[in-house]
Homo-oligomer: A and B are copies of this chain.
Amino acid sequence: MTLNITLQALSDPTRRKILEILKKKDLAAGEIGKNFDITLPSLSHHLNVLKQADLVTCQRRGQEIIYSLNLSVFEEMAEKLVKFFKK
Contacts and interface: CB of A to CB of B under 8 A. Distances in A.
Interface of A is mostly: helix
Nearest to A85: B78
A13 interface: yes
Interface in A1-20: 3-4, 7-8, 10-11, 13, 16, 19
A36 interface: no
A75 B11 CA distance: 19
A29 B74 CA distance: 35
Given A77-B85, A85-B75, A85-B77, A4 B8 contact: no
Question: Which 5 A-B residue pairs are closest in the complex by CB-CB distance?
Answer: A78-B85, A11-B11, A7-B11, A81-B81, A8-B11
